[in-house]
Structure 1
Amino acid sequence: MEEVNITFAVEFFFLGFADLPNLQGFLFLIFLIIYLSILIGNGLIIIITKLEPSLQTPMYFFLGNFSFLEICYTSVTLPKMLIDLWTQKRKISFLGCATQLFFILILGVTECFLLSVMAYDRFVAICKPLYYTLIMNHKMCVWLVIGSWIIGIPILIGLTYQIFSLPFCGSNKLEHVFCDIPPLLKVACGDISMEEYSIYVDAGIFGMFPFLFISGSYAKIIATILKLPSSKGRYKAFFTCSSHLIVVTLYFGSAGISYLMPNSSHSTVTEILFSLFYTILTPMFNPLIYSLRNKDFIVAMRKLLPKCVGLRNK
């Protein structure tokens, strides 16, 4: 039998922005501004929901945790992207790639489940208002957040191990800007059809179940809202849920296209754009979507910002 000389990858190189040599400085500036806006915007939400007494409700408790999650999510990819743009090296070790992918997966799954928890909170508030304080007590809220963070860890450890147990014996160049499942599967060699199917099933389950739960919750919410006798009440209920629905649509829409569509149906550029959308742009839009559309949050921000800068009139 013919022997084949196989060299296994010990590091990977990102090719996502390599073909844009004249735009490296511009891209660095753009992503730096995006990262700072994510840190400032979501950090402001965390501080305000923590300090303002009028916002000590389950909805804002979940929003504060969601903003913290968004900061963690972008911090897994953006700092490395900024370093790559600045140094032009664009490489990551095998272990570093595995670590980055694991945190992308666990934080992505946490976001799916935390969005589900926020949908459940709105469901109880609108469909079971008399039992809201009883069901959504502080202990329950804390356990729902903890559960969102830890529920996927064991399986995602196995999923990450499964991916990096594949033979990367061909090119070690990833047509992407960070370590993600689709570009890693492209550079794996041999017959990986069964492993690829298993990986996408695991990833799909963690995205599909939360999405179906959110869809079912909002189907009941909309049915309840339409039964309200007051048009003002219907408008207020729809407006309260609209911010969450926008975030759900942006995140699940872009992530679903990136993960579930066949590789042959979209180009590398499209894949990178959708990946950047759900990992970077959605966290950037989160403060704008929730704060600018929420009167209570705007009032609280006007009260607390002068205190932070020491300009409040005595």
Structure 2
Amino acid sequence: MDEAMNEERLEAIAALPKVELHLHIEGAAPPSFVRGLASEKRTDLSRIFRPDGSYDFRGFVPFLETYEAATSVIKGPEDYARLTRAVLEEQAANGVLYTETFISPDFCGGGDVDAWTDHVAAIRETADAAERDLGVTLRGIVTCVRHFGPDRARKSARCAAETAGDWIVGFGMGGDENAGEQKDFAWAFDCAREAGLRLTTHAGEWRGPAEVRAAIEDLGVERIGHGVRAIEDPALVDKLVDKGIVLEVCPGSNVALGVYSDLARHPVERLRAAGVTVTVSTDDPPFFHTTMRDEYRALARTHGWDEAAFADLARTSLNAAFCDAATKDRIAKTLEDTCPRT
């Protein structure tokens, strides 16, 4: 295939409809959005930006520090409503039909249930309007922040339980994987489970396969954020397949942060070939200079995935989504109309 034809095919792949399950709402804030808020609030955040205007960090812990600094100016329901619109406009531009986004009570009201409820209402109202205007559907997964500790995670779980329903559909955990153990947060996950929420947690990004195993055995999750280092333990890979555990893989994020040196060394294809249920997401796209279109192009270019593979990926991702059956049926109809069958 000549280069022109190859690029044409890559663009066709990038234009396919998509489903994204691993997106942090603050981490999806465009740098221009954060700079604008900082200016409005007379807050100097120049330290977190490079001269070209992009976010500035080197490594995972500095990334978390930059993330939290950016989030410091996103305060109150109105700011989160504006952020939601900006994020969903970007999702629509990338052909994403359905998104699940992580939202933390630690950032949305400081763990206070009433403040949290106000934030959720503002985000949901904006999401509903964006669905009408842009055709992209959003649902929320409440997250606790691991390096904030188990006590604050309990507050987040209580907030999640208060707003569980057809829009808040899951509970999970992000933050620094090297802080504490998965089992330290079992109470929070049990609370969310009892409220009817479905469960995911970040694991197997910075710590090895034992962390993925702990997420499954200690928290009882059905999805795992990242989880890529499971590839280092063949028995664990078999466990993921046998139990139907879904990995929310974020290849561009893993390469940008140095988990893997490049996409060719990333295990997403090996996991997929082994029968693990794999989805693809962007994590914190402007931080990692990626989009869903970019992820599709990169995977097609590096691993040779074709249109049918990406169509199957979208269907697999929708099947793994935490939303209700009616929402899945509606999104599935669009996928059936637009995605090739193998």
TM-score of the pair, normalised by structure 2 = 0.22
- Structure holding more strand per residue: 2
Where relative contact order (Cα < 8 A, 6+ residues apart) is larger, the structure is 1
